[in-house]
Amino acid sequence: MQQQVNSVFAVADVFNNEALEEREDMTPLKLIKLCYIAYGFYLGYGKGKLFREKIEAWKYGPVIPALYHDLKKYKGSPIRESLRYDGPPLDDHEKLFVQKVWKAYKKFSGLDLTNLTHQKGTPWREVYDKTFRFSAIIPDASIKAYYEGIIETGYGT
């Protein structure tokens, strides 16, 4: 039997709850980038997909469209409430993994995280520079290879 892959909303819920508990600002931009980074590291560590939704290359970096559309009502303002995700939660191992990513990246703003994802050699840059197409899908293989490289250099979570 194949394991059910989570929704990005379960991952976003953990990040947002951590921010609310620590009274840290969480903007939609930051939350989307954190979900992407967690997804990348999860693939990079060989754990499979952290969530099932697709990731696309948009002008301002990698975006999970389903999450973006749910959060756009906040615009650039911090999210000051629970996301009220009512689907299945992450298991304990996945939640701990996401919390570890939070601890490593919470100090960065959404713009900082966007800049990280725009660097030369990133999966976003590879797809966006080749296609110049809004909403081109970033392949999991590209994300996995990139984050494996980060992990190999000792910068993993």
CA-CA-CA-CA torsion for 4, 6, 131, 153, nearest 10 degrees? -100
Number of residues that make up the chain: 157
Give dist(CA 126, CA 69) in Å, integer.
24
φ, ψ for residue 68, nearest 5 deg: -55, -50
Query: Could you list the pLDDT tens digit for every one of the 157 residues in the chain?
Result: 345 789 999 999 999 999 999 999 999 999 999 999 999 999 999 999 999 999 999 988 999 999 999 999 999 999 999 998 889 999 999 999 999 999 999 999 999 999 999 999 999 999 988 776 667 999 999 999 999 999 998 765 5
